[in-house]
């Protein structure tokens, strides 16, 4: 649900959400879903929502999803983290260039190209 609504949300509304005082608490709840929810669709949506809120340090909440057993969750994590300007995050994304899933490798390749140039 969040994913479909987020795609239709105006830029002004998205920027307001970044400044929302409850964004940190919301992000912490989403982070627990990433690590504990058995449903891969819910984990993927939580990762997308974390990237959308982008609270300071959100990358720490999303990084574990790079090792998720479901390719769609790993792809969402790569996409959420691709805007993070941190060498450690870029290195973790680069590790997925050897992922067994071709779509994950492609997402990592595109994110690496985006951060390099």
Rounded Cα–Cα distance for residues 75 and 104 (Å): 5
pLDDT band at 53 (very low <50, low <70, confident <90, very high): confident
Q: pTM to 2 decimals?
A: 0.85
- Distance (Å, rounded) from C-alpha 33 to C-alpha 61? 10
pLDDT in tens, 91-104: 999 999 999 999 99
What CATH number belongs to 2-116?
1.25.10.10
User: Residue for token digits 């959100």?
Assistant: 58
The contacts of residue 73 (CB under 8 Å, 6+ apart) are 40, 43, 44, 47, 65
pLDDT at 4 over 80: no
pLDDT for residue 7 is more than 70? no
Residue 81 has pLDDT above 80, yes or no: yes
Distance separating alpha carbons of residues 6 and 8, to the nearest angstrom: 5
């Amino acid at each position: 649900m969040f994913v479909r609504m987020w795609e239709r949300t105006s830029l002004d509304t998205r920027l307001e959400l970044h400044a929302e005082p409850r964004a940190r608490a919301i992000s912490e709840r989403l982070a627990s879903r990433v690590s504990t929810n058995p449903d891969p669709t819910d984990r993927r949506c939580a990762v997308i929502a974390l990237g959308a809120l982008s609270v300071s340090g959100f990358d720490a909440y999303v990084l574990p999803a790079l090792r998720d057993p479901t390719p769609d969750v790993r792809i969402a994590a790569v996409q959420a983290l691709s805007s993070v300007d941190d060498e450690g995050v870029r290195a973790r994304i680069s590790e997925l260039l050897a992922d067994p899933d071709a779509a994950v490798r492609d997402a990592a390749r595109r994110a690496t190209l985006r951060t390099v140039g």
